[in-house]
Amino acid sequence: MAVERTLAIVKPDAVKRNLTADILSRIHAAKFQIVAIKSLRLTKAEAEGFYAVHRERPFFGELTDFMSSDKAVVMVLEAEGAISKWRDTMGATDPAKAAPGTIRKELGTSIQYNCTHGSDAAATAAFEIGYFFAGLELI
């Protein structure tokens, strides 16, 4: 399996609940390398740009309101098969359907308040990483 990079976000619900350290601990335990990391607060326009692929979906406004509601932690993770590995570590979007031991199962409270985001494919990862990090931040 090839070494890949993926974007990971500790969403505002998890930051507000002081879960960032717990999530970072799980990232380290899963043997990811953190290539870049920063804390930020998205504006509504920045959240809309990031989630532009969902613009026509009924949840778009609620999603972008939520993602711009408070601080988040964004990071680039690297590992063999990082995209699928991070998605497995997070668990299903709906915490009620997530596998035992996953971040979303143990820490998430709803589909919206599920603590984390992760890229779903290589092309998505490239866009998402570039959205938050400049080239020099990824060396």
Q: What mean pLDDT is predicted for residues 10-17?
A: 98
Q: Which of 26, 104, 105, 117 is catalytic?
A: 117
pLDDT on residue 3: 98
- Summarised one tens digit per residue, pLDDT across range 31-50 is 999 999 999 999 999 999 99
Is 124 among the domain residues? yes
Category of 127 on φ-ψ map: left (φ > 0), alpha (ψ -120 to 50) or beta: alpha
1 pLDDT higher than 90: no
- Residue 117 known to be catalytic: yes
Is 66 among the domain residues? no
Is 99 among the domain residues? yes
Is 56 among the domain residues? no
The CATH number that applies at residue 107 is 3.30.70.141
Residue 109's domain comprises: 3-42+72-138
**Cβ count within 10 A of residue 11:** 23
Is 65 among the domain residues? no
pTM, two decimals, is 0.97
Is 122 among the domain residues? yes
Is 49 among the domain residues? no
Residues 6+ positions from 22 with CB-CB distance below 8 Å = 107
